[in-house]
Structure 1
Amino acid sequence: MLRSVRFALAASVALAAPLAPAFAAETAAPVAAPAPPNISVLPAQPREIVATLSVTGTLTPRETVTVGTDVEGLRVRELLVDEGDEVKAGQVLARLETDIVDVNLARSASQVARAEAAITQARALVAEAEPTVVEAEASLKRTRSLSEKGIVGQDILDAKVSAAAAATARLASARQSVALAEADLAATRAERSELELRRSKAEIKAPTDGLVLRRAAQLGQVVSAAGGALFEIARDGLIELDADVSETALGRLRKGESAQVRVAGGSRVSGEVRLVSPRVDQASRLGRVRIALPRDPALRVGAFARAIVETARTTGVAVPRTAVNTGPKGDFVQIVSDGTVETRAVETGIATGNIVEIRSGLKPGETVVAVAGTFVRDGDKVTPVPAEVLETAEAAR
């Protein structure tokens, strides 16, 4: 039994001996190390960066001029302009009926003539009374001299005194009549001037150049000062975009910044910021911005419009927004140098869309991890793959 076991073991060793070198060779072959993981990278490139802000609002006149009348009781006889018409300063917009005013002017003319005749008559009385006074005073003087010599009696002297006083009184009355007649003439002429002014205002004229926005006047309408405006005019035809902006964005806007405005319906015009409100509404937390626009017949007051305002423009190193991350010490990017990841602190600047300006900490041409801080850490070994290649591969799939 023991001999059989020994024989079996010897036979097994004999059979295994030819296979030992091959097995040893197979186990001694080197195993290849796994390649570092792929990571999407792209180069930091210098480019022009433009920061913009989108605002929305309504088209409105820069300045609205209301045109009315302060005459009472006249009817609209003729309308000469309509909404949308361009007008010049002094142009007649409408005419009112003047028949009542014309009748009053004719009556006033006769009153003026009568007042002038009264003045002439009163002046004639003055001219007549003046020599009488002179004659009466001279006669009184002579009589007083004779009375002092005892030639004439006291009764004659008293009669001369009375005559001189009466002549003086008549002269004063005549002069008062002249003053009264002149006052009546002045009052009558003032009334006539008022009627002439009233007649001149029967022609309602444009106070400025502009665009007629609204015509409230109607033929046959009886106008009055309390009746409100008859016309509304956009001064010089200038229309602006009146927009509300959040208080956080209001500080980014400056007067004179350019804007591209798109009006509802597809029209596009260029403008610039004319006014940035110095106050914010406490309820809505919004501030007003006015964007001046060029004169364009396609602009309609009251239409909705959207503006893209250019708030900053610079040329510098730029990377995608995803390449910038924020940590306890501030913003940072991850660069790949010789297959090794390095975390680099940076100072960011203008950000617009998916682009961020890097003001310091990164040089043009350095390779940046496309999505910072997500997959790799400082010191990791990676295989950089250009982001454009990956995008092409994804598109092919």
Structure 2
Amino acid sequence: MNKKIIFAILIAFGAFAGGCQNKQDNTDKKTETKDVAPKASLSVSTVKPQQTLLHKTINANGNVAAWQESSISAETNGLLLREVLVNIGDQVKRGQVLARFAAATIETDIAQMQANIAEAQAMLTEASSNANRARSIQDSGALSKQQIEQYITAEATAKARLNASQANLNAQNIRLKQTAVLAPDDGIISQNPATVGTVYAAGQELFRLIRKGRIEWRADLTSADISQIKTGMKARITLPDGSSTHGKVRTIAPSVDAKTRNAVVFVDMPAGSAKIGMFARGDFVIGETNSLTLPNSAIVMRDGFAYVMQVESNHKIKQTKVQLGQRKDDRVEILNLAATDANFVESGGAFLADGDSVRVISK
């Protein structure tokens, strides 16, 4: 009887001990589960914001145009264009012959005028002789006063005819010179509508010339920005193919367009650096400033906004919306960065989200 009682007590004690052990094991497992750190989703390298010297600029758009473009036209009327000696893009010098008109008709007219002058000269000689004889005998009474006046008048008429003939000859000589179309200045031929064999009227355009080969960028600036631009200020101009060149402000328009409220700034460009009519973007350097920047690879664009991925002390990501400023080489200005000494994901931020855990790799 006693043995049965002892055996039952031993079985109950064993069951109690087993239950306590199982409870302890479960508690240890729960504790262990709580202590396990979340698994990192990505290994990243970090970078801190840097102070970078940036140029303070004003951006503008505009067209490339000729500094001055001369229109070269026919000076004579009704002549046939015989030859054209230049093409578009040719560089020419002041006084260089660009084209020639047929001069045969003018040369014929000149020969006729020369004959008229010879005839007028002979008539003047005869009239002068008659007038001189009349004057010498006017006191003798051999000729009436009326006859004497007729001889003197004939002499004056002959002089006038000679002068008119000489004037006509000079006019024809001028026309003969005008059959050669000359460059009014050094420059580059930008347009060449002249066609051999065409009869041109006076004033009809034959060529267009970019004077001195000078070109300029005509930048449109708002009323708010125009006051910050000064003559002589430097500008960096970006052309449609991505290349860039530099220019200098020559002058500023004295008025603002009443419709657009924009003013034009005329910027001298190096000759041959761009083509007339090109659209170009540019910026004017108005000062320098030290600004916080991050590498371009650290910027993540989402839904049209810019973000940076800040790595917090617990290795979790904090997605921060930022406003971007200027760019210099591979760095971007951050305008509203509050955590100036924080660590940010250097690259690969597009694969991360707010709250993700990362493993930081030392450089």
**TM-score, with structure 2 as normaliser:** 0.67
1:197 matched to which residue of 2?
A: 174
Q: 1:218 to 1:371 in 2, by over 3 A?
A: same
How far apart, CA to CA, are the structure 2 residues paired with 1:311 and 1:116?
Answer: 75
1:271 matched to which residue of 2?
A: 247
SS at the partner of 1:192?
A: helix
Q: 1:43 to 1:220 in 2, by over 3 A?
A: closer
How far apart, CA to CA, are the structure 2 residues paired with 1:203 and 1:393?
Answer: 69
Are residues 1:288 and 2:264 paired?
Answer: yes
How far apart, CA to CA, are the structure 1 residues paired with 2:171 and 2:187?
Answer: 30
1:301 matched to which residue of 2?
A: 276
Are residues 1:117 and 2:122 paired?
Answer: yes
CA positional deviation for 1:175: 1.7
Are residues 1:217 and 2:194 paired?
Answer: yes
Are residues 1:61 and 2:66 paired?
Answer: yes
**Amino acid of the structure 1 residue aligned with 2:239:** V
Q: 1:392 to 1:207 in 2, by over 3 A?
A: closer
SS at the partner of 2:129?
A: helix
How far apart, CA to CA, are the structure 2 residues paired with 1:114 and 1:231?
Answer: 42
1:145-186 Cα deviation digits (max 9, x unpaired) = xxxxxxxxxxxxxxxxxx35x254433322211110000011
Decide whether the 8 Å contact of 1:320 with 1:370 is kept in 2: no
1:233 matched to which residue of 2?
A: 209
- Equivalent residue runs for 1:106-185 within 5 Å: 106-134=111-139, 136=140, 163-164=141-142, 166-185=143-162
1:315-367 Cα deviation digits (max 9, x unpaired) = xx64569xxxxxxxxxxxxxxxxxxxxxxxxxxxxx8566589xxxxxxxxxx
> Structure 1: which 5+ runs fail to align?
1-39, 137-162, 322-350, 358-368, 373-384
- Equivalent residue runs for 1:36-47 within 5 Å: none
Decide whether the 8 Å contact of 1:41 with 1:386 is kept in 2: no
Are residues 1:252 and 2:206 paired?
Answer: no
Percent identity, aligned pairs only, is 27
Q: 1:320 to 1:299 in 2, by over 3 A?
A: closer
Larger Rg: 1
2:297 matched to which residue of 1?
A: none
How far apart, CA to CA, are the structure 2 residues paired with 1:220 and 1:291?
Answer: 41
1:154 matched to which residue of 2?
A: none
1:206-257 Cα deviation digits (max 9, x unpaired) = 1111111001111111111253x21111110001112222323222322211
SS at the partner of 1:196?
A: helix
Q: 1:197 to 1:392 in 2, by over 3 A?
A: closer
2:341 matched to which residue of 1?
A: 386
SS at the partner of 1:299?
A: coil
Decide whether the 8 Å contact of 1:132 with 1:167 is kept in 2: no
Q: 1:276 to 1:71 in 2, by over 3 A?
A: same
How far apart, CA to CA, are the structure 2 residues paired with 1:207 and 1:221?
Answer: 22
Q: 1:50 to 1:356 in 2, by over 3 A?
A: farther
**Amino acid of the structure 1 residue aligned with 2:131:** V
Decide whether the 8 Å contact of 1:258 with 1:272 is kept in 2: yes
Decide whether the 8 Å contact of 1:42 with 1:370 is kept in 2: no
SS at the partner of 1:83?
A: coil
- Calculate the aligned-residue CA RMSD, in Å: 2.9
Decide whether the 8 Å contact of 1:119 with 1:181 is kept in 2: yes
1:247-289 Cα deviation digits (max 9, x unpaired) = 2322232221111222222443211122222322222222212
